[in-house]
Amino acid sequence: MATESAGTASLARQGPKDVRRPVLDATDRAILRRLRDDARIPNNALAEAVGIAPSTCLARVRTLREQGVIRGFHADIDPAALGLTLQAMIAVRVQSGARGEMLAFAQRIARRPEVLDLYFVAGADDFLIHVATRDTDGLRTFVVDQLSARPEVSSTETSLIFEHLPAAGSGGQL
């Protein structure tokens, strides 16, 4: 039982150590809105857009990164452009006796090239895995070889994604 709670607790601790929410003022929120819309905006243009000096803007962005508010800047690549035309969400249940293996399982699966996102969730399932593959054969191979064949996996349920409709923004209410 100690292994079970230790493994689950370790998985839950993968986020920032300081879970207190940073205090954001109107300027921070304006910076975040602009960066959400265009992460490549030059610092001078960002500073001008939010009405602060470039040096102040640079310092604020640095602080937002250090606080974990800004987790990174990345390219949003369309998997279909890479020939990965089939996407799916796979719900995974882990065997109750394998709860101590959840962190190792999550780390191993997250490294797979098919995996776009991995979520540790509450409810009947333990994980939701967003994958992209070339075709149904690739999806089947991933589910059978990487999930169902694993002793720690109790069950899987796969839902195909017909279309991804992006939300207004990942920043919620900024």
Q: What 3-state DSSP class applies to 96? A: helix
Distance CA 108, CA 121 (A): 17
Angle between helices 2-12 and 102-110 (to 10 degrees): 40
- pLDDT reported for residue 17: 52
Domain residue ranges of the chain, discontinuous segments joined by +: 17-66, 79-161
Distance CA 158, CA 24 (A): 39
From the list 84, 92, 166, the residue with the least C-alpha distance to 132 is 84
- pLDDT reported for residue 18: 57
Distance CA 118, CA 125 (A): 13
Instruction: Using the predicted structure, report yes or no on whether residue 5 has a pLDDT greater than 90.
Output: no
pTM: 0.77
Mean pLDDT of the region 109-122: 97
First vs last Cα of the chain: how many Å apart? 42
Q: What digits encode the pLDDT tens for the residues 13-44?
A: 554 455 678 899 999 999 999 999 999 999 99
CATH, domain range 17-66? 1.10.10.10
Alpha helices by DSSP H, the chain = 2-12, 26-37, 43-50, 54-66, 102-110, 136-141
Distance CA 82, CA 80 (A): 5
Q: Quickly name the fold that domain 79-161 has.
A: Alpha-Beta Plaits (3.30.70)
Angle between helices 43-50 and 54-66 (to 10 degrees): 100
**Beta strand pairing status for 115-120 and 127-133?**
antiparallel
